[in-house]
């Protein structure tokens, strides 16, 4: 049994995607123009003859249908018979659309099969999300309050903006606490008494005085004899400082694990899909070294007022046009994928202006 499959995760509810699957006008916008056969009212005709992977129009008949869940059609194209099933599964962000076509009679050449599968995947990942965004925009009544308008949808605050403002508030609060602590430390330093001098400093002062007044002093002890006992006394004090100073600095100054530098982390940016008024970006972070790396930071910068709404694979924050992603250390040869959804006011935006990991440019952008 030969099968072709394609799948896409969509940021739209299942009932909206179902409408795009069953409405002939919307089908013509993202897949192929669809009409009803004149001689058979229950039979649909898809104008697929010019699409990659199709060498003729497809006639289809619905054999099973469950609203917003599943539709199965029996298809006939150039003497080949197949069964095409589209399944919708709800997810936390929207829904997942899975397409599977099983060949029942006839055969596909390897080239035709590969082109057909690619055609399905491009339609699901690129054109369908764009039409869904457009359709969602049409459902929102922008002239709220005017008589004669249709359905009004509530305006919800974008989760990314709320999260960003909440995190900015935490940052400002932390900064205020830091300023208060720094001010208190400064006042304490000004009000405290000077530190007491150690035993070595008083010994140095008499030695300097004796040396400077050796020629004129009337003290019974000469400068040479007074200097020698001081050196002896200071020598007797040095052993007490040597065991506590040098041994404690030697092991902490050059630990073995700090002698080898952390491996250089790499990152590659790519667009998962582009759609009307937004796109989904992906950054693959890798540790190509032989040892575990340190925590990493990826910075993505936009050239407009784009807004990130959903992120998988990293902690993040957005400040203006800059989005910062952070993650835990990666073991040698390990990688981590960051995927984020972007809302952009420009139609079919292509991606961010720049991407960098630990200050180095990402590949692929």
Structural domains in the chain?
2-139 (3.30.530.20), 266-361 (2.60.40.290)
Q: Quickly state the pLDDT bin for 234 (edges 50, 70, 90).
A: very low
Residue 7 is predicted with a pLDDT of 93
For residues 195 and 137, what is the distance between their CA atoms, to the nearest angstrom?
71
For residues 274 and 350, what is the distance between their CA atoms, to the nearest angstrom?
7
Residue 39 is predicted with a pLDDT of 75
pLDDT value at 121 more than 50: yes
pLDDT value at 166 more than 70: no
Looking at residues 17-28, what average pLDDT do you find? 90
Q: Which residues contact 73 (CB under 8 A, 6 or more apart)?
A: 44, 60, 61, 62, 63, 83, 84, 85
Looking at residues 302-330, what average pLDDT do you find? 92
pLDDT value at 159 more than 50: no
153: left (phi over 0), alpha (psi -120 to 50) or beta: beta
For residues 82 and 107, what is the distance between their CA atoms, to the nearest angstrom?
10
pLDDT value at 360 more than 90: yes
User: Any idea what DSSP says for residue 256?
Assistant: G
Nearest-10 Cα torsion for 223, 224, 225, 227: 80
Cα Dmax for the chain: 135
Q: Quickly state the pLDDT bin for 226 (edges 50, 70, 90).
A: very low
pLDDT value at 233 more than 60: no
pLDDT value at 10 more than 60: yes
Residue 304 is predicted with a pLDDT of 86
Contact 31, 9 (CB under 8 A): no
Residue 94 is predicted with a pLDDT of 94
Return the number of other C-beta atoms located less than 10 Å from residue 132's C-beta: 23
Q: Which two tokens stand for residue 255?
A: 């630990």
CA 324 to chain centre: 8
> Is the entire prediction scored with pTM above 0.75?
no
Nearest to 12 by CA among 124, 128, 70, 94: 94
Question: What residues form DSSP beta bridges with 89?
Answer: 96
- How many Cα atoms are found within 13 Å in the side-chain-facing hemisphere of 1? 8
Residue 208 is predicted with a pLDDT of 40
Residue 361 is predicted with a pLDDT of 95
User: Any idea what DSSP says for residue 172?
Assistant: H
* Angle between helix 128-139 and helix 14-22 axes, rounded to 10 deg: 110
Mean pLDDT of the chain: 75
Identify the residue with better confidence: 250 or 290: 290
Return the number of other C-beta atoms located less than 10 Å from residue 290's C-beta: 9
| % of the chain exceeding 70 in pLDDT | 63
For residues 125 and 350, what is the distance between their CA atoms, to the nearest angstrom?
14
Q: C-alpha distances in angstroms, 65 versus 88, 95, 229, 350?
A: 12, 18, 106, 36
Nearest-10 Cα torsion for 102, 104, 106, 108: 10
pLDDT value at 157 more than 50: no
Q: What angle do CA 274, 165, 181 make, to 5 degrees?
A: 135
Looking at residues 318-345, what average pLDDT do you find? 91
Note the pLDDT tens digit of each residue in 32-53: 999 887 777 678 899 998 899 9
Residue 102 is predicted with a pLDDT of 95
3-state secondary structure of 36: strand
């Amino acid at each position: 049994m030969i099968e072709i499959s394609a799948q896409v995760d969509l940021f739209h509810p299942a009932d909206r995607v179902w409408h795009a699957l069953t409405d002939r006008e919307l089908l013509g916008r993202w897949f192929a123009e669809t009409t009803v056969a004149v001689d058979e009212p229950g039979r649909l005709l898809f104008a697929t003859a010019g699409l990659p992977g199709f060498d003729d129009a497809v006639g289809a008949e619905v054999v099973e249908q469950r609203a917003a869940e599943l539709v199965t059609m029996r298809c006939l194209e150039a003497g080949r018979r197949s069964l095409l099933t589209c399944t919708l599964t709800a997810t936390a962000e929207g829904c997942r659309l899975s397409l599977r076509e099983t060949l029942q009679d006839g055969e596909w050449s390897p080239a035709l099969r590969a082109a057909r599968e690619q055609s399905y995947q491009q339609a699901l990942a690129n054109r369908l999300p764009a039409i869904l965004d457009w359709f969602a925009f049409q459902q929102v009544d922008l002239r709220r309050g005017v008589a004669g308008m249709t359905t009004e949808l509530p305006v919800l605050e974008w989760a990314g903006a709320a999260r960003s403002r909440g995190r900015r508030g935490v940052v400002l609060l932390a900064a205020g606490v830091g300023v208060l602590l720094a001010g208190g430390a400064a006042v304490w330093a000004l009000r405290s008494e000077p530190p007491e001098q150690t035993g070595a400093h008083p010994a140095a002062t008499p030695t300097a005085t004796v040396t400077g007044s050796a020629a004129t002093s009337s003290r019974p002890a000469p400068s040479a004899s007074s200097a020698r006992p001081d050196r002896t006394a200071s020598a007797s004090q040095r052993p007490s400082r040597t065991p506590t100073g040098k041994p404690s600095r030697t092991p902490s100054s050059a630990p073995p694990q700090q002698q080898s530098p952390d491996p250089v982390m790499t990152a590659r940016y790519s667009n998962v899909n582009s759609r009307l008024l937004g796109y989904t970006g992906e950054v693959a972070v890798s540790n190509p070294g032989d040892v575990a790396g340190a925590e990493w930071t990826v910075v993505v910068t936009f050239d407009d007022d784009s807004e990130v709404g959903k992120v998988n694979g990293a902690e993040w924050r957005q400040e203006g046009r800059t989005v910062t992603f952070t993650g835990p250390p990666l073991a040698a040869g390990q990688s981590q994928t960051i995927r984020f959804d972007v809302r952009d006011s420009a139609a079919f935006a292509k991606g961010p202006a720049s991407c960098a990991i630990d200050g180095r440019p990402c590949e692929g952008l």
